[in-house]
Structure 1
Amino acid sequence: MIRLAILLAMLSQPLAAQTAELTAVIGPGDATNALVLRSTTDLAVLGPVIEAYAEARSETRVLYEQWGSNDLRAISEQECQSGQAGADLVISSAAHHMVGLVNEGCASTATSGWTQALAPQLSWRDQLWGVSREPAVVVYNRDLLTPAEVPRSRFDLLDLLRPETSRFAGRVATYDIEESGLGFLFAFIDSLEATTFGGLMEAFGRSGAIATCCSAEIIDGVASGRYLVAYNVLGSYAIQRARRDDRLGVVAPEDYTLILSRAAMIPAGAAAPELARDLLDYLLSPEGRAGLEANDLMIRLDEGDGQIVEVTGTVETMERPIGLDPTLLVAMDADKRELFIRRWRDAFPQPE
């Protein structure tokens, strides 16, 4: 029997800088081996996969730390610069943060049959690996939108926001890119990919769209009717909620759909790199992939997941995978980041 003990739950109170949101021990308390896994993935989502790993390795327990992406990057960089041992394996949805850390020399090298079997865009320098497959989606309230109003592309969303008397004014939400590393990544890739990006920013600002921090908060808002539509939401969380909440509809934008792979890295100062490599290999193995798929972390729009996600385009041409490569370093450039955030603030002015 796996013991999953919540040691620290701080989600209901303000977080101190560089503090885990949630910490749990997965595995037997008397295990002889222990490793620290830090991840931006919700414990409720990735936890069952780690439980299965621990069940198969009774001698190992995992200390799971759930982090916000910006704080996870900050503590990883701090420990890298100081030479401190912290996490043994880091997994983040903010893939650009991870590429930056690898570029700064903060990662260990590892190779195995499973890492070498990854597609080239999901492996960089044998130090960074993509371990999931999750689309960025549009979420809408089924009870409050007619079929004709459901935005199936960014052009549709622009049309909904264009009228001065639009009922969608103030009722469209997306990530706050200053609070969410994932939100920054999606918005930055949008700015490179889409001719609609400038128009969307203008429409969001003019219509009073809401920028907020977290997937759960955004999805809750759509389910309750506070928001009618949410843009660029991480599909794994949206799909998992939609399976049990009929109020939620999920759309893969037909103009293009970003596909994220959470990036995994073994820090250079890891205390248990061998255990980290073993867990990484498990996540990349057929058994681990089956667990990730069962928990909506491996989404295939052209297979069964298309029954939950509404797909109206051709999957092969609409998917845009976000590769783990130096392209993402552009998003880490301080000057470019400041200019991009300034442009974002123009669309989402901060309350005085």
Structure 2
Amino acid sequence: MTVPDLMRCGVLLLVALACDSAVAEESRSDVTPLVISAALDEDVFTPLLDAFQAAYPLIEVDFREGSTLEVDNSVSADSPAPDVVISSAMPLQMARVNDGWARRIDSPQARMWPDWAKWRNEVFGFTFEPIVMAYRLDLARHMLPPQKHADLHRLLTSHADLLRGRVTTYTPQASAIGYALAQQDARYSTRFWELVAAMGQLDASLENDTRSMLEGIEEGRYWLGYNLIGSYAMAYAQHHPDVIVQVPMDYSLVMMRMAFVHRDAEHPEAAETFVNFLLSQDGQHVLAGQTPLFSPLTDMAGPWTAKRLRDQVGEHLYPIPLDATLLAFVDPARREVFMRQWQETFVLPEQTSEATP
């Protein structure tokens, strides 16, 4: 090949590379980013994220996992704001929406979503997750595992020596979901404070999240956990046979992950597309078939549905209402009163007296 031929080939190669670069740049410009701030374990949520990406390949998801308090803080503190906000801390989500941080969605999916699982078409509860107890398998060698709240209280009082320091639950002081669950328990159970006192007497460990409780049970540091998020516990138990999950048979609280589009979303169309997908038959089918988050839709088929849960537990499921009553739980005065009672009830009597001047 002559020099002129080589030069012509070089020119053609440069032109081809320039064209490829231009195509790639144009392709990148077609991709819309989508920032999701979520108090939701990404490992559990991955099947739905994957299904969304397959359906909408030109939307690039930036999933930012955080605690309930971190996600709540992101609503007003992050700049730019997240496009979609998802959290299990239902009172905090409702407070943000009530304060005007959410965009109303006017879509067929939003209009058709059950009224009991949405508010003003601005925030939507898209899961149906029971609150459960969990225990180590070898607990059964020492005592009959609890199936009801009364069983749990009886174990805490009759097997105090064995269970001291081996019980765990959420801390309502540092966990927004922990506080919400404690408030709801006090609402439904007349013996809630007796249970709190019994856990305090046994030096129960207070954790910030369900995963820490589950890991403690798996490692043997804890024998028994109370008020864990069922979706996480069930997913964890699938890979850790020493962990047994029990949905309480007398009553079980049910929480819903609440999602809304941020009013200052930089990518509102992508955000609405994502929320609509959560509410769609396709999205709920993935939720019910591939995640333990449970679909709230009564006509949805799959192993993880509200209907199947009711078939197993009966009518003793108490969904936390997604309505304006949630706002009472973020009232500072109410929180102060509740937390004072919690601390006085949970802390051991001798610790209380020592702390009193």
> In structure 2, do the counterparts of structure 1 residues 322 and 228 end up closer, same or farther at CA, with 3 Å as the change threshold?
same
Q: Which residue in the other structure is 2:114 paired with?
A: 119
Q: Which residue in the other structure is 2:222 paired with?
A: 227
Residue identity matched to 2:156: L
Q: Which residue in the other structure is 1:58 paired with?
A: 57
- What secondary structure is seen at the aligned counterpart in 1 of 2:190? coil
Contact 2:255-2:320 at 8 Å conserved across structures: yes
- What secondary structure is seen at the aligned counterpart in 2 of 1:64? strand
Confirm whether residue 202 of structure 1 aligns to residue 202 of structure 2. no
Contact 1:236-1:299 at 8 Å conserved across structures: no
Q: Which residue in the other structure is 2:264 paired with?
A: 269
Q: Which residue in the other structure is 1:87 paired with?
A: 82
Q: Deviations over 1:135-172 (max 9, x none)?
A: 00000111232495211111001101113744112211
Q: Which residue in the other structure is 1:191 paired with?
A: 186
For 1:29 and 1:240, the matched residues in 2 are separated by 36
Q: Which residue in the other structure is 1:136 paired with?
A: 131
Q: Which residue in the other structure is 2:74 paired with?
A: 75
- What secondary structure is seen at the aligned counterpart in 2 of 1:340? helix
Contact 2:126-2:278 at 8 Å conserved across structures: yes
Confirm whether residue 103 of structure 1 aligns to residue 106 of structure 2. no
Q: Which residue in the other structure is 1:39 paired with?
A: 38
C-alpha root-mean-square deviation of aligned residues, in Å? 2.7
> In structure 2, do the counterparts of structure 1 residues 272 and 299 end up closer, same or farther at CA, with 3 Å as the change threshold?
closer
Q: 1:298 aligns with which of 274, 284, 294?
A: 294
- What secondary structure is seen at the aligned counterpart in 2 of 1:335? helix
Q: Percent identity over the alignment?
A: 29
Q: Which residue in the other structure is 1:217 paired with?
A: 212
Q: Shift of the alpha carbon at 1:111?
A: 2.3
Confirm whether residue 145 of structure 1 aligns to residue 143 of structure 2. no
> In structure 2, do the counterparts of structure 1 residues 285 and 78 end up closer, same or farther at CA, with 3 Å as the change threshold?
same
- What secondary structure is seen at the aligned counterpart in 1 of 2:228? strand
Contact 2:160-2:202 at 8 Å conserved across structures: no
Confirm whether residue 49 of structure 1 aligns to residue 34 of structure 2. no
For 1:113 and 1:88, the matched residues in 2 are separated by 20
For 2:176 and 2:28, the matched residues in 1 are separated by 34
For 1:147 and 1:312, the matched residues in 2 are separated by 30
Residue identity matched to 2:292: D
Q: Deviations over 1:300-320 (max 9, x none)?
A: 8998459xx9x8997342100
For 1:295 and 1:65, the matched residues in 2 are separated by 19
> In structure 2, do the counterparts of structure 1 residues 32 and 247 end up closer, same or farther at CA, with 3 Å as the change threshold?
same
Q: 1:253 aligns with which of 248, 252, 260?
A: 248
For 1:303 and 1:131, the matched residues in 2 are separated by 15
Work out the number of aligned pairs and report it: 318
Higher-Rg member (1/2) = 2
For 2:140 and 2:99, the matched residues in 1 are separated by 47
Q: Deviations over 1:274-325 (max 9, x none)?
A: 111110111111221122221211168998459xx9x899734210011211
Q: Which residue in the other structure is 1:11 paired with?
A: none
Residue identity matched to 1:328: L
Q: Shift of the alpha carbon at 1:175?
A: 0.8
For 2:344 and 2:176, the matched residues in 1 are separated by 19
For 2:30 and 2:347, the matched residues in 1 are separated by 51
Q: TM-score, normalised by structure 2?
A: 0.82
Residue ranges of structure 2 left out of the alignment (5+ in a row)? 1-26
Q: Shift of the alpha carbon at 1:258?
A: 0.8
For 2:194 and 2:302, the matched residues in 1 are separated by 33
Q: Deviations over 1:161-209 (max 9, x none)?
A: 1137441122111011122111111111111111121111111111211
For 1:30 and 1:156, the matched residues in 2 are separated by 59
Q: TM-score, normalised by structure 1?
A: 0.83
> In structure 2, do the counterparts of structure 1 residues 318 and 75 end up closer, same or farther at CA, with 3 Å as the change threshold?
same
Confirm whether residue 330 of structure 1 aligns to residue 335 of structure 2. no
Q: Deviations over 1:251-279 (max 9, x none)?
A: 11111111111000111111111111110
For 1:312 and 1:97, the matched residues in 2 are separated by 27
Q: Which residue in the other structure is 1:345 paired with?
A: 343
For 1:259 and 1:94, the matched residues in 2 are separated by 12
Residue ranges of structure 1 left out of the alignment (5+ in a row)? 1-27
Residue identity matched to 1:66: E
